[in-house]
Amino acid sequence: MAVDEARDEPPVDLDPLLQAIEHCYEQGWTDGLPVVPPTPELVERFLSATDRDPDEILANISQFRRVATVRQIAVCAAMAGCRPEYLPVVLAAFEAVIDEGWPEAGAWQSTTGGGPLLIVNGPVRTELGFNSRGNVFGPGFRANATVGRTMRLVIIDVFGVSPHELDQSTQGNPGKYSLCIAENEEESPWEPLHVELGGSSDESAVSALHTRGIDFIDNRQTADAHHILNDIGDSIARTGTILRAEKRIAVIIGPEHAQLLATQGMTKRDVKEYLVENAVRRLGDLRRTGKDGVRPTPSNAPVSTGSMHGWAQPSGSAEDDPGWDRRVGVLRSPDDVLVVVAGAPNAGVSAVAQPLGFPPRFPGHSVVRPKRRPPGEPA
Amino acid sequence: MADVIFLERRGVPSAAICTDALQASANAMAALHGAPGYRYAIVPHPVSSLDADGLRAHAELAAPQVLEILRGPGAGGEPGRHS
């Protein structure tokens, strides 16, 4: 129904609903956009979509003095606009976010301003309508938009990490509202991410990676696999993203690029190995940006924060030092490269997701646990 | 901020040093842990881009504040709990 036809509908008293939406704003429960008021009846509908105990604790983060239960996650999913049947995916998404290891290490408070990128794999994509094709990072798809949004509402409402207070993000990034994609398994020439991580193709899973930004790579004027990967490598090694001597990276390859690479004989592993060799900067580029030296971190630095990887800093060398042309790689290992296929096969476009720091576990991951009993049957 | 409050609760005299740009989150974290108004040393932002002389100047600003916090507000006072 077009918006201008709505005036012909019988009048409905929306005032109580609008007042409830305003109430949620007044309580500081929103991300700035309106939320669905989480009435007890609505939350119960969500809880009936899982076998899990509503009081099961999914995370306990001491610096916030808060835990997150299945019920609290369900409340946030309801507020975010999810359908009740999304809840098992939401729970897996939250578990994946925790599994990455960043929240307990303080990432949600960080000036770096990352937010979780969720990657959904498996049959649940089509069952619930997750978009894996055109506009995969963009708007228009309820499952992507609301499952991703739920993570932010959990961070704000369950853990109390609000901007200008505990959230110290210097600039943040738009993905902090919602950032959830599905892998385009049907148009990928390679095995899907969750199978690569050891799962079965008939189960569903969510992977998570706190991300500071998505950079596009537009390369549709060549059919040479190395041209495309060199272009992706340049974005991986952009100097502004270099904070440490080594990084991890997620590459979201468009189906057109993926099929072109596969046609020229490249496996997913080949792609990762090529990028390790070719995501490089010249030492002179690093000198010009004050990032050509590495300050080692103490040997007792906590591994959980990824801080064992030294910080980039000026070396003090002159810009005309004869070593300026030396290639410096930013990736340590093919295992530090995540390759996912997503988007439409209608142009040579790919993207890199620049993670927050050096993720402790890469990626965070959790399997979706579907409800076993039919709806309405008692637990 | 949480760390120094945890340490104080274990009886370890502690003092945090914070830049002026990060006070809002420091205050929020102190309140979250039941210590609203928790006192900490404040130095100007930024720190990470300072050279050795700049760091020394910051240390000279911080040191007297840290000593005052560790000594407490007076006999019988709880360290760091100025409000």
Residue pLDDT, tens place only, A360-375: 999 999 999 999 866 5
Burial A66-99 (b: 16+ CB within 10 A, else e): eebbbbbbbbbbbbbbbbbbbbbbbbbbbbbbbb
Residue in A63, A164, A165 nearest the CB of B2? A63
Tell the residue number behind the tokens 């109390």, with chain if given: A160
B32 chain-A contacts, CB cut-off 8 A? 64-65, 160, 166
CA–CA separation, A231 and A215 (whole Å): 12
Q: Three-class SS of residue A294?
A: strand
- The reply to whether A377 falls in a domain is no
- The reply to whether A10 falls in a domain is no
Question: Strand locations in A16-121, DSSP E?
Answer: 57-61, 66-69, 115-121
Range of the domain at A152: 17-279+330-367
- The reply to whether A304 falls in a domain is no
- The reply to whether A2 falls in a domain is no
CA–CA separation, A18 and A27 (whole Å): 14
ipTM above 0.85, yes or no: no
- The reply to whether A195 falls in a domain is yes
**Furthest C-alpha separation in chain B:** 40
Residue stretches of chain A with pLDDT short of 50? 302-308, 379
CA-based nearest residue to A49, from A95, A86, A78: A86
pLDDT per position as a tens digit, A29-84: 999 999 999 999 999 999 999 999 999 999 999 999 999 999 999 999 999 999 99
Tokens at A220, concatenated: 């549709």
CB contact under 8 A, B28 and A166: yes
- Give me the pLDDT at residue A312, please: 81
Best B3, B20, B23, B32 member to test A by mutation, with max A CBs in 10 Å, is B32
- Give me the pLDDT at residue A298, please: 58
- Any CB–CB contact under 8 A between A243 and chain B? no
- Could you tell me whether strands A311-313 and A115-121 are parallel, antiparallel, or unpaired per DSSP bridges? unpaired
Burial B24-37 (b: 16+ CB within 10 A, else e): ebbbbbbebbebee
Q: Which residues of B touch A (CB under 8 A)?
A: 2, 22, 24-25, 28-29, 32-33
B45 chain-A contacts, CB cut-off 8 A? none
Task: Please determine, for residue B13, whether its predicted confidence score (pLDDT) is greater than 80.
Answer: yes
CB contact under 8 A, B32 and A64: yes
Which pTM does this prediction carry? 0.91
- The reply to whether A126 falls in a domain is yes
CA–CA separation, A26 and A23 (whole Å): 5
Do A251 and A193 touch, CB atoms closer than 8 A? no
Cβ–Cβ contacts within 10 Å for residue B46, how many? 11
- The reply to whether A231 falls in a domain is yes
The tally of domains found in chain A comes to: 1
- The reply to whether A294 falls in a domain is no
Q: Tell me the helices (H) and strands (E) count for chain A, helix number first.
A: 11, 13
